[in-house]
Structure 1
Amino acid sequence: MVPVPRRTGSFRFWLAEQRWEWSDEVAALHGYAPGEVEPTTELLLGHKHPEDRGGVADTLAMVVSTGAPFSSRHRIIDTAGQMHHVLVVGDQMLDDTGAVTGTTGYYIDITDTLGEERQDALDAAIPGMVAARELIEQAKGAVMVIYGISAEQAFRVLIWRSQETNTKLRDLAAKLVAAVGEFGGAETATRTRFDHLLLTVHEWPEL
């Protein structure tokens, strides 16, 4: 496994009780000590960047209404006033009968920082990645497109899942690429937008 710093944490949300549970890592991401606060929807929204708060509120309303899985990329501001870019991924939480009782998932801090710990992680990953570089790049590209994040952020997401699932990075990438291939392509609206981009991108200014 690649030794990266812990920038992820878990959460659970019970629909009937409107009750949140944060891991210590998620509390710390918001600037709180373990057990210092009881997370609520009001508290959660209060930490969202003002420009992102409405979109997150809409996502939460959709989750409460439908119980559907979700993902959200937005900014939060911790108690010290520091801004973090986060990716929040939630899946359905089911009871013994298969009924949806809530959502459970992870916060992933994808703030663009290349400190010494991050560089150490990259250096440690490179030797084992050479043979599988193409697959890892393909998996990284899929994560970038789906979540609208940078290459570095996508790589961090893959490393996170590698650690959480105790799966070698190259194996995780291979499985992800194979599974994405079974999607059958994007939805019509997305394909239409990409069609236009493919046919006009040559007219864009040089980067």
Structure 2
Amino acid sequence: MHGYTPGEIEPTTEMLLAHKYPHDRDKVAETITRSVELGEPFSSRHRFIDTHGVEHQVMVVADRIFNHDHTVGTAGFYIDLSSTLLTAEHEALDTRIQELVNARAAIEQAKGVLIRMYRIGDEQAFKLLVWRSQETNTTLRALTEQRLRELPAVPPDRPDTVSAFDHILLTLHERIPPDST
């Protein structure tokens, strides 16, 4: 796991500690010392850098090695948690990103409704939503999602307004400046 081939080196505590991630090294050294001095088994979760410079997040479970009646070392095993932790991290991040995208979409839609209804700018629409959120002690996301759910209760625009909008939508491409395409 550290990058050595079997038999290439004689593993020592010093050599193993040299591979520990700098911020974890002292904690691991203390754990080993305590185990040897107090004669206790130990487990540790920490990071180390292998011979190729790759960081591993591991759990180590170890016990003492005795020579007659005193501890001369430790023996145990490593469990590489790197891929497990990375997978969990990615899943949590994917979930959170989707939540943020959904929240942002609701806010943008609610802003669009305010811009259209009140003929205000983007910044003003956002400030209006933030004000209502703060005034009612309601999260911005909950407020905007509820606003969108209730939007069908607003009476439809007059037919001539819808016709004007339809015309604009169908002819937008004719008025785009040449340097914007």
TM-score by length of 2: 0.42
TM-score by length of 1: 0.37
Highest Rg: 1 or 2?
2
Higher helix share: 2
